[in-house]
Chain A
Amino acid sequence: MGENVRRSHALVWLYVGFVLLFIYLPLFPPLIFSVVTGETGAPAFTLSRYAEMWRNPVLTDAIVTSLEVGAIVAVIAPLLGLAAAMAIRELQTPRLILSLVLLPLFIPGVSAGLATALFFHLVGVPPSLVAIAIVQAVWALPFATIVILVAMTTFDPVYLEAAWMSGADRLRAFIDVELPLIRPGILGAATFSLILSFNETVRTAAVQGGYNTVQTYIWATYKQIGLSPTLYALMGLLIVLTLILVAGFLLVGARRRTG
């Protein structure tokens, strides 16, 4: 590699690093403000906000709601994503199916939230964990589908044909042959859906009713009284949880490549 090429590559990596700094920088202030105390005197380290969080029933309720909604989304979205990915391969209209499934990406949160809130109201669906989970699952569906589609490209359909020729019907062949091979993709889609559920505010706020997730609690409290160390601790919790889940997603992917 010539000296010039190497220098220009270094410049580009510098640029990439600068953009990465720009998008990573905002992850740090909430983490720092959640553990720093003593604005007047010398700053000191404390984990008290994280400990106090569990003694506030409003907050524990919100945390439990987030976990419950997240669990439902992490089941619904990958299942629908799997069905969509299979439908794209099996049915005659792959473009139409893919367009419909990717559509939620292009609908702004407030429009999706308002539309679903009006719809639930008119159809008579009261606010519930399932209603919140449905709104979030629509949002997670495009991501879940793409993750599973990518996993499916590593699978050679010739295995399915072999199973059909051995007398298995389509369902049997799928469950016995393809499903075990694309399971990491489904797990990845579930992780992705869980992350998206934990990090959703605008759509959830439109249909939350009397329920609060951690995100809607942060948003509502911010609008009423502004930011506080407790809110920073909640944000810190979500940032750490998201990073852990991303790491889990990677481990699943790494196992797929080596396994």
Chain B
Amino acid sequence: MVRSIVLRAFLLLPIAFVAAFLLAPLGLTIAVSFWQRIGLSVRPAFVFASYLTFFDSVRFEVLTRSLLVSIEATVLSLFVSYPIAYFLAFKARPDATRLALLLFTTPFLVNYVIRAFAWTYLLGRTGPINTLLTSAGIVSRPLDWLLYSDFSVLVGLISSYMPFMIFPIWLSLAGIDRALIQASWLLGASPSRTFFSVTLPLSLPGVFAAAIFCFVSSFGESAIPVIMGGVGYQLMGNTITSAMDVLNYPLAAAMSTVVVLAMTVLLMGWYLLFDMQSFLGKILNWRA
């Protein structure tokens, strides 16, 4: 009896942990976003001052730019990762698939902040890419827009989050019942028709999970714009950090709430559209 209570408590521990150290803090963030800021101190209240400051000023431009950059990063990352996941799921041998998935995971584990520092050298005016382009005669003088631009921020975001997007897409592609694809062939559908009306729709749970991951991570990214965007390049993430640095916690909380709200809406949509079991069934032994 005691043992079964201990076991049950152990099983509930992760939920308690996430509730205490993620859900409660996020709830508190929403509360603080309505608090009042007087001088350098902050007082509990219910005012919309921080939201008005955010939506009323140049910071609103930060929101629109963040949305645009995150959507661009997500779409480009999907175009890069989907063919890889498709090839690994349908064409490559199992051992080659395992090796490739591993090769894609490893650099993802090295802090993306460190990788972003490296990119500033690689993309710089005197960096290897510009040197290569000029010495090969492709451009007459070093390209300026490679670094400290929307382009470099996109490179940073894509190399940070794209490798991890291959997994959910591969997972949903690998879970597709091959009989459905064969049926489509037998009924005379062309390969492209089969892809667009059978394979692609069935892989959407993974595609959208990957897309939400990339979009939300990019939307709230705070280090890449600082390192690769150059002076004054503001996205939601580093604008939140700047507000924290000047102790304007209600404003930081308001902007963070906007990001978390976007995440909540997207994840809710995913739940309404897709079934988790069909997507993750491969790694879960559900009790039926």
Does A86 interact with chain B (Cβ within 8 Å)? yes
A250 to B4, CA, bound (A): 35
CB distance from A91 to the nearest CB of B (A): 6
Interface residue total, chain B, C-beta cutoff 8 A:
84
A interface list, Cβ under 8 A from B = 9, 12, 15-16, 19-20, 22-30, 33, 79-81, 83-84, 86-91, 94-95, 97-101, 103-112, 114-119, 122, 134-135, 137-138, 141, 145-146, 149-150, 152-153, 157, 169-172, 174, 195-196, 198-202, 206, 215, 218-219, 222-223, 227, 235, 238-239, 242-243, 246, 250
Does B213 interact with chain A (Cβ within 8 Å)? yes
CB distance from B98 to the nearest CB of A (A): 9
- State whether A114 touches B256 (Cβ < 8 A): yes
Query: Could you say which residues of chain A place their CB within 8 Å of the CB of B111?
Result: 198-201, 215, 238
Given A90-B11, A106-B212, A115-B256, 14 new contacts (CB under 8 A): A22-B159, A23-B104, A28-B118, A80-B14, A84-B14, A114-B29, A138-B18, A141-B18, A145-B14, A146-B283, A153-B282, A170-B4, A198-B111, A218-B114
Which single member of A16, A28, A239, A243 contacts B100 (CB below 8 Å)?
Answer: A16
Query: Could you say which residues of chain A place their CB within 8 Å of the CB of B117?
Result: 29-30, 222, 227, 235
CB distance from A242 to the nearest CB of B (A): 5
- State whether A202 touches B260 (Cβ < 8 A): no
Does B284 interact with chain A (Cβ within 8 Å)? yes
Query: Could you say which residues of chain B place their CB within 8 Å of the CB of A138?
Result: 17-18, 21-22
- State whether B28 touches A27 (Cβ < 8 A): no
Secondary structure at the A interface, as helix, strand, loop or mixed, is helix
Which single member of B17, B113, B122, B216 contacts A215 (CB below 8 Å)?
Answer: B113
Secondary structure at the B interface, as helix, strand, loop or mixed, is helix
Query: Could you say which residues of chain B place their CB within 8 Å of the CB of A219?
Result: 113, 223
A-B contact count (CB 8 A): 234
Does B184 interact with chain A (Cβ within 8 Å)? no
Q: Answer whether A24 and B107 are a contact pair too, CB < 8 Å, given A110-B237, A149-B284, A250-B102.
A: yes
- State whether B22 touches A107 (Cβ < 8 A): yes
A152 to B263, CA, bound (A): 30
Query: Could you say which residues of chain A place their CB within 8 Å of the CB of B65?
Result: none
A153 to B271, CA, bound (A): 24
Give 8 CB contacts A-B under 8 Å.
A20-B103, A25-B122, A89-B287, A106-B267, A108-B217, A114-B29, A150-B283, A242-B106
- State whether B22 touches A115 (Cβ < 8 A): yes
Query: Could you say which residues of chain A place their CB within 8 Å of the CB of B109?
Result: 195-196, 199, 242, 246
Stretch from B45-53, B83-91, B194-202 at the A interface: B83-91
Query: Could you say which residues of chain A place their CB within 8 Å of the CB of B26?
Result: 107, 111, 115
- State whether B122 touches A29 (Cβ < 8 A): yes
